[in-house]
């Protein structure tokens, strides 16, 4: 069982306007987020560049970025406990940066994740095929043995192209009950 983190096992801030507590002009800063989450742009460089693009003081952006991850999803740990009790190996594959990864590593869900993989460590970003290929090398399971849950359709499509059983859990209703339902329908929980 492989899980994305944000919006699947982990609650995250929906956008920079919410994180900063005031509206900011929407824009495309995916180049900065990708570079930061691939480990190619350090925290300071990312914060300075984003502060410039959003026209906010860097210290405000730093506080918003530090508060981006909000905690575990309700029921996430109990889901992982039940999956382990049913004999399933647990993995995660997440686009995230080193500072958020370091915080999450101390959360209860991580006690149950045997194979924890992140974009900044692997140097690749979902949905780029390189991240799935790096994960496949690191985890000793055949592609068709991997069941992958993610909230973004392009990530699901990329995993499915490699033969993973990929299940889309769109943002909306709480994800854990929907994941449990999908696993039950597959006879896996």
Per-residue confidence of the chain (189 residues) as pLDDT tens digits?
999 999 999 999 988 888 998 888 777 788 999 999 999 999 999 999 999 988 899 999 999 999 999 999 999 999 999 999 999 999 999 999 999 999 999 999 999 999 999 999 999 999 999 999 999 889 988 888 999 999 999 999 999 999 999 999 999 899 999 999 999 999 998
Q: Are residues 154 and 133 in the same domain?
A: yes
In the chain, the number of structural domains is 2
Supply angle C-alpha 107, 121, 76, rounded to 5.
30
Same domain, 109 and 150: yes
Residues 97 and 56 placed together within one structural domain of the fold = no
**Residue 21 lies in domain:** 16-69
Confirm if 77 and 108 have CB atoms less than 8 A apart.
Answer: yes
Q: Indicate if 175 and 87 belong to the same structural domain.
A: yes
- Let me know whether 59 and 148 are in one domain: no
Domain termination residue (choose one: 52, 69, 86): 69
Residue 136 belongs to a domain with what CATH number?
Answer: 3.40.50.1000
Residue 93 and residue 43 in one domain = no
| Claim to verify: residue 92 and residue 178 sit in the same structural domain | yes
Q: What are the contacts of 45-49 at 24+ separation with CB within 8 A? A: 46/97
Say whether 164 sits in a helix, a strand or coil: coil
What is this structure's pTM? 0.93
Counting Cα atoms < 13 Å in the Cβ hemisphere of 161 gives 13
If asked whether residues 101 and 31 sit together in one domain, one would say no
Angle value at C-alpha 173, between 107 and 10, nearest 5 degrees: 15
Which H or E run includes 6?
none
91 close to 114: Cβ distance less than 8 angstroms? yes
CA 179-146-131 angle, 5° bins:
105
Retrieve residue 140's tokens.
């000793």
The terminus-to-terminus CA distance of the chain in angstroms comes to 11
Q: Mark whether 27 and 53 lie in a shared domain.
A: yes
């Amino acid at each position: 069982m492989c899980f994305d983190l944000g919006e699947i096992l982990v609650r995250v801030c929906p956008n920079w306007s919410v994180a900063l507590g005031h509206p900011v002009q929407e824009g495309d800063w995916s180049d900065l987020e990708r570079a930061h989450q691939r480990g190619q742009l350090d925290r300071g460089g990312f914060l300075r560049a984003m502060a410039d693009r959003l026209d906010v003081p860097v210290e405000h952006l730093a506080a918003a970025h530090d508060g981006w991850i909000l905690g575990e999803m309700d029921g996430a740990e109990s889901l992982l406990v039940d999956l382990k009790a049913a004999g399933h190996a647990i993995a995660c594959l997440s686009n995230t940066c080193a500072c958020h990864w370091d915080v999450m590593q101390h959360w209860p869900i991580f006690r149950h994740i045997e194979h924890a993989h992140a974009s900044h460590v692997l140097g690749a970003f979902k949905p780029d095929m390189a991240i799935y290929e790096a994960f496949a090398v690191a985890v000793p399971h055949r592609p068709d043995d991997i069941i992958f849950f993610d909230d973004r359709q392009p990530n699901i499509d990329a995993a499915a192209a490699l033969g993973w059983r990929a299940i889309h859990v769109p943002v909306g209703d709480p994800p854990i009950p929907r994941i449990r339902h999908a696993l039950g329908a597959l006879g896996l929980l």
